[in-house]
Amino acid sequence: MQRDTIVALATPAGVSAMAVIRISGPLSQSLFCHFTSKGEFSPRTLYHCKYLLGGGKLLDDVLMVFFPFVSSYTGEDAVEIYCHGNMLIVENILADLCARGCRFAEPGEFTKRAFLNGKLDLCQAEAVADVIHGTNERAIRVAQNQLSGILSDKINAVSKDLLNVLARIEMEIDFSDDEIFDEKILFHDILQKVETAIKKLETLIGSNKYHSVISNGISTVILGEPNAGKSSLFNFLLDEDRAIVSEIAGTTRDIISEKIVIGNHILKICDTAGLRSRALGEIEKTGIAKAIAKALGADFFLIVVNINSNTLPAIPREIVDCLNDQNALVVINKIDLPKSCAVEDFLPHLDRIEISIKNETNPRVLKRKILEVISRNKTLNNDIDIVVNARHVNILRRANACLEAAQSKWLQPLHIETIASDIRQSLEILGEITGAYDNEKMLDLIFSNFCIGK
């Protein structure tokens, strides 16, 4: 199918030493020959040339390279232009190329063409965006694994097994009058393969619980009573005065969050309103409600206790039930002041560290303790290779529902054709992950989240 020739800036907009402009489509080769004045040339070789506008005016010295469709990213003839990173030059080149027959690419259109031309399957195409937007080493590594085809291979392996099962069922239907099958052995073998497929898909579904941690960091909530030192702890970990610190209790009303790196982990730390059973006014009530809601969705907890307070933090029961020695650390603060409460009786099953945030100059001891607790937590510390996203989970669950329907029918006096129908439907659904099942609206939605030029 003949397509338009598309063009876009592939590097971030702004002043830089160099900018890269990408072209893909049927005009690529003729444009390359025009600007380089090369009738014969070697693909994948850089050529230095003058970029002349339509009237012959020199715009810039550039480097250009031609990629034939067999070796290009998009599966189409493509050109890359390397010019100086002045946005005025870039905009003039883009405008000139559009005047010569190109059009501006839509977000993700280069990768969409790569998918449509068989250069990538849909899993790999999604991974391109994940590699670009990865916020930490673990996220990038998982995305690169998906880009290399690991997830696709697992889905394809399950699909191949189900195709074999379906073929055996079809043979049974075709030769049901012949006495060449032992139905008991055949059905037991098929049932076993369906059960194996269900377990493999369930394992993939289970990997989604790591998605948020790997992509967004460990959601960490600081909790405690008003004036316990939560905001001071927040600033201490960030090593900057990000949150307002005051002797007046209840200063923090809304949630403030920042990301920090501790060891190999990114923690998204949230400073919250102080928890107490009797809030002073509607604004503080709202702040406490927000703190509780945030805590109920958190991965990790820092519970701050003021050793000089007459009371211990009023942690709601629903939050206490979430706390264990793998996801929470009690920070006993203000140890430079006299002890006024029985801190040893507060959440005794949790690890704790005693500190005076006011007098401390080095947060490394506290960060080491945080890492010690995280190291016990398989969800937060798992060195997993594959993590499925929300779209994959929805598809995998639908596919498994069909397989479970087929599984339940083995024990019922139903025609074998209905079992084959369930397995066939499961296969079609699994095809949505890799793109074997073509749905134009689904593709438009996925690639619309890409940046322009990718």
170 assigned to some structural domain:
yes
Counted domains in the chain:
3
Looking at the fold, whether 193 and 305 belong to one and the same domain comes out as no
321 and 363 share a domain? yes
- Which range of residues forms the domain containing residue 373? 217-381
Of 381, 405, 439, the residue at which a domain comes to its end is 381
437 domain-assigned: yes
Residues 45 and 79 reside in one and the same domain: yes
H/E element, 354: strand 351-354
Residues 343, 374: one domain?
yes
Q: How far apart are CA 400 and CA 194, in angstroms?
A: 10
Q: What is the chain's Cα-based Rg?
A: 30
Q: For residue 259, what pLDDT is reported?
A: 85
Residue 333 lies in a domain: yes
For residues 223 and 244, give the distance between their C-alpha atoms in angstroms, rounded to a whole number: 16
Choice among 6-20, 91-105, 162-176, 435-449 with the minimum mean pLDDT:
435-449
Q: Within a domain: residue 1?
A: no
For residue 333, what are the β-bridge partners? 306
139 and 169 in a common domain: yes
Does residue 186 or residue 43 have the better pLDDT? 43
- 362: phi > 0 → left, psi -120 to 50 → alpha, else beta; which? beta
Contacts of residue 128, defined as CB under 8 A and 6 or more positions apart, other chains included, come to: 111, 120, 147, 450, 454
CATH number for the domain spanning 178: value is 1.20.120.430
- Mean pLDDT computed over every residue of the chain: 83
Judge whether residue 438 has pLDDT over 90: no
Position 5 scores a pLDDT of 96
Give the pLDDT confidence of 30-76 residue by residue, as tens digits.
Answer: 999 999 988 889 999 999 999 998 778 899 999 999 999 999 999 99
Kindly state whether residues 194 and 45 are assigned to the same domain: no
Q: Say which amino acid occupies 79.
A: V
Cβ partners under 8 Å of residue 449, min gap 6: 107, 108, 129
